[in-house]
Amino acid sequence: MPPRHSLPEALLTTLSTSRGRADRLTHTEHLPARPARYSPWPDSIRPEIVAAAADVGVEQPWAHQAEAMNLAKSGQTVVIATGTASGKSLGYLAPVLSDLLEGTEARNGRGATALYLAPTKALAADQRRRAAELAPPRVRAALYDGDTPPEEREWVRQYASYVLTNPDMLHRGILPAHARWSSFLKVLRYVVVDECHSYRGVFGSHVAQVLRRLRRLCARYGSSPTFLLASATTADPAVTARRLTGLPAVAVTDDASPRGPMVFGLWEPPLTENVGEHGAPVRRTATTEAAHLLTDLVERQTRTVVFVRSRRAAELVALQTQDQLGRPLADRVAAYRGGYLADERRALERDLHSGRLLGLASTSALELGVDISGLDAVLMAGYPGTRASLWQQAGRAGREAQGALAILIARDDPLDTYLVHHPEALFSTPVEATVLDPDNPHVLAPHLCAAAAELPLTDADLELFGPSTAPLLPVLERRGLLRRRTDGSWYWTRRERAADAVDLRGSGGSPVQIVEADTGRLLGTVDAAAAHTTVHTGAVHLHQGRTYLVRELDLEDSVALVEPADPPYTTAARDITSISVLDTDTTVHWGEGRLSFGSVEVVNQVVGYLRKRISTGEIMGESKLDLPPRALRTRAVWWSVTEDQLLDADLPLDRLPGAAHAAEHASIGLLPLFATCDRWDIGGVSVPLHPDTGLPTVFVYDGHPGGAGFAERGFQRAVEWLTATREAIASCECERGCPSCVQSPKCGNGNDPLDKTAAVRLLDVLLAGAPGAAPAAGPAADPGGGTPAGS
């Protein structure tokens, strides 16, 4: 076992120079240590809490914790946005538990209550244990989620003072039954919203409306709770908190917790001999590379977690590492993911803490709050989607004053490739803001129905729910969902529960159930919006490491019937998409070019699917499908250039389709760098001559009804976004386009046509007219041909 002082610099050197890996480490960043800064306990914190904190090793709070405590006790909405393992929990628990302790002195023992919201059940369970460490048993903390037995639920409603739940349960279980929760709500003192950076996009917009419904019911029962939010480090945390809660917020961002030095490596897996679509080179997968690095780290007794993007990848990394290690070291490597029983997860966490486990391959289940800090190294198999998540994951490595190693391993993807060659985008750029849009009418409308079912809506509620409310109410009345009484109040008109019509995590439509045809066993569900492309007839479907073929997709009954199979191929849907501009909010002239933002309608139809050989990506055949078109009204950003600009750039019209298509793919891949989204949250269309603009135009749109705020962020950051897109294409070492630059894993046209060289020229033309534009820099792409086919 190497001495601890050899970590992490010597370890990174060893990893990068052994086994022919010399060219894989693209950048090394050294992050200095940071000493702790302490503050006295605020006078408002009860001595019982101070004593309990001392018992678990906290003699004095860090300065940012004390600041948050003081703000909370003054009744202000507070968001604590500091790094991993910076003690955010103590910052909100101390004031909450102090008030709850005072509440136990009331006649009924419940003179004050608090509600805690977490995005996952595991995090809520973890927080209940922390509360139990700091507060005497007379502060009754209880979980209230889908796993809570019916007999316990009644006890929680009547007696618990600190209820830990999730937004889904608040939306479906508490708010519609508010009369039964009246004794809890009327003395509700605090609402804690943990890991609030995870509430983004459509999900975040739904949660924002759930919190507004909660505030409305609290006012009905005479309470006005203080909201306390905890977040990873993000840009504009106070703005995010205000959008989520509807209340002005104060941000605590000056992290006073200690941190040991960290060495952060950026790593690019090598190209393999395999080729993909159209002969494009293919890199070794990030998960395979992570398994090799984890093997080396475990052999050196280095306690390591690998973060991966999927449950299946977690299992694969663990299995590959175990195979390479052999016994007995293989027994010290495991996988950790959602879907495991709570006891299994706790056992893995204990084994990691104790040192029995040296290697763990995990999904982001370990990113959100579960206490596993104190590792020697963290590997990230693929960029986790946001800089906030990147620093959350990297922060799991390192103990006080001890060095730590973090390595980001790039996937074969434009964004990952860009980042490992542009370290300033990670280390010299602020983390992104959380994007959500509570005023999205597609989100707001069902929550207005749910609110009306809870209490009739009045004019006094218009300001609470936002500016889209007033015009929406008559629309809901015309649909027969709400009815206006003579007193001016709006009532819910149906027998069914209004809350059941809202899926906080979905995008509308009944989820499609995936059922094993021969047994009738339910394997899982898929969102209605994704069903056409993922569980169409003939699709290959993976579930818990097993492969199935979709025998039939029944859209009428929302069921996909599948059967076990082991085909030598994967499937990829082929589709056709058209887009029309409904309304243009803003247009900015970039020289002769134009950049616009507004509302669009996207009509998509899946028309067939490709079968690709697993080992090589080779196309084995294509089958046709007869599925109905789907229409989506959403928000988009789009840009256009003129024919004169194309002539000036020496870009022939026959290469324009491939240029626009390639630029569209790469821009979709890079938008997550500027908006908190995944490439699967957004879509794009490129048209050599669009009927609504009369010009060659590239659209990027939100993949959710009404929009999610991602395209708008792209519009706001367009110069940086499209400059990064140009650089990602130009700097890629392939000749004609590959998954690292312009090929997309979800392209409905089989990544044809794509013209890498022409895409760089097209973006140069556009960016030359951008505000503050400088002459284009960087290498030009190698020559490559496009085809005259449409995108």
pLDDT in tens, 268-308: 998 877 666 666 677 788 999 999 999 999 999 999 999 99
Cβ proximity of 174 and 415 under 8 Å: no
Across 40-44, 705-709, 775-779, least confident range: 775-779
Angle at 591 between CA 587 and CA 593, to 5 degrees: 55
| Res 774 pLDDT > 70 | no
Per cent of the chain over pLDDT 90 is 58
Q: How confident is the model at residue 460 (pLDDT cuts 50, 70, 90)?
A: very high
pLDDT for the residue 219: 97
pLDDT for the residue 152: 93
Dihedral pair phi/psi, residue 506, rounded to 5°: -110, -175
pLDDT for the residue 30: 93
Q: What is the pLDDT of residues 160-179, one digit of tens each?
A: 999 999 999 999 999 999 99
Cα 647 from Cα 529, distance rounded (Å):
40
Which CA distances in Å does 276 have to 497, 680, 743?
50, 21, 10
pLDDT for the residue 463: 93
Residues 668/670/676/681 CA torsion (nearest 10 deg): 20
Show the 3-state SS of 377-425. Answer: EEEEECCCCCHHHHHHHHCCECCCCCCEEEEEECCCCHHHHHHHHCCHH
Which parts of 578-622 fold into alpha helices (H)? none
Cross-strand pairs, 176: none
The β-bridge relationship of strands 569-590 and 593-613 is antiparallel
CB count, 10 Å around CB of 523?
A: 16
Q: Which residues contact 220 (CB under 8 A, 6 or more apart)?
A: 178, 455
The closest alpha carbon to 706, from 601, 603, 621, belongs to: 601
The gap from C-alpha 393 to its chain's centroid, in whole angstroms, comes to 13
Which CA distances in Å does 570 have to 12, 155, 547, 734?
36, 50, 10, 24
b/e for 674-690, b at 16 or more Cβ within 10 A? bbbbbbebbbbbbbbeb
Q: What is the pLDDT of residues 561-612, one digit of tens each?
A: 999 998 988 888 888 899 999 999 999 999 999 999 999 999 999 999 989 8
| Res 507 pLDDT > 80 | no
| Res 540 pLDDT > 60 | yes
